[in-house]
Amino acid sequence: MDKKYYEAYDDRYKQVHQSHNKPWAGYRPSPTIEKLLKKYGANSSSSILEIGCGEGQNAIYLLQKNYNLEASDVSPEAIRWCKEQARIAGVEEDRFFVMDILNNHLDKKYDFIFSVAVLHMLVDDKDRREFFNFVRNHLKGTGKAFIVVMGDGKMTRKTDSTKAFELSDRPFGDKTIQVATTSCRMVTWEQYLQEFEDANLKVLDHYLDKTISGFAMSMVAVAEKEK
Ligand SMILES: C[S@@+](CC[C@H](N)C(=O)[O-])C[C@H]1O[C@@H](n2cnc3c(N)ncnc32)[C@H](O)[C@@H]1O
């Protein structure tokens, strides 16, 4: 079967891991997620799901802090890398699994679901709707979602998803390397908040954040299911 455009990160991770044995995204967890977990009352028994964990920078940090977390990504290479890093860090590698959240469902609901820099990869309206549906369908009644995307709330951008697997030059440390282009869609605050509303998710808070590693500016939204 043909690969979907949003699977292009699998190529990028393989290209970087095989030639450099280093993570594409670095090892810097975002302080935002832990701050939000604390603010909304997470403890060591709260169930937490990360969507699109990539190379595990946030998930491994939170597992080391004893949070009850599971982390998923559509990229088998990302999950292979996470399991290896989990072994090195001394946390459970079984917490990581491969899943395309746009085409799968889990028989479980969570107290917290978070996602960092994943939604902006979804270019098609239908895929973005599926992302929000997955979040709503997997939150417990009072569960909270923290969704972080690239953007400043004003700029808009939509890349051509047919080019996601093409090679592009990208900075990597002090070098420029060739990796899969991947995809990107940036939306305004108005569009972003409308997407939550359309999915019957109530936004409790939203703000710009400069601390998400790899991005000059990110949009953070905290939401729960509409009652
Ligand atoms: C820009 S990376 C961000 C990774 C990580 N969250 C971070 O902050 O470094 C986007 C990630 O979303 C994953 N992804 C894209 N579409 C997905 C889907 N449908 N289901 C699960 N993961 C997905 C990609 O494989 C990639 O690892």
Instruction: Say if residue 40's pLDDT is above 90.
Output: yes
Residue ranges making up the domain that contains 9 = 5-225
Mean pLDDT within 50-72: 97
188 touches 2 (CB < 8 A): no
123 lines ligand 1 (CB under 6 A): no
Number of domains in the chain: 1
Beta bridge partners of 177: 170
Mean pLDDT within 192-203: 98
Mapped onto helix, strand or coil, the DSSP state of residue 29 is coil
Q: Residue 73: how many CA atoms within 13 Å on its side-chain side?
A: 28
The CA distance from 72 to 75, in Å, is 9
Please, which pLDDT band fits residue 214 given cuts at 50, 70 and 90? confident
63 touches 69 (CB < 8 A): yes
**Domain holding 73: CATH number?**
3.40.50.150
Q: Give the pTM.
A: 0.97
Q: Check residue 121 and give left, alpha or beta (phi > 0: left; psi -120 to 50: alpha).
A: alpha
Q: How many angstroms separate the alpha carbon of residue 42 from the centre of ligand 1?
A: 23
For residue 174 the two structure tokens come to: 């002090």
For residue 190 the two structure tokens come to: 């108005």
For residue 54 the two structure tokens come to: 């990539």
Q: Which of 74, 129, 132, 147 to mutate to test the pocket of ligand 1 (most atoms within 8 A of CB)?
A: 74
Instruction: Say if residue 8's pLDDT is above 70.
Output: yes
Instruction: Say if residue 1's pLDDT is above 70.
Output: no
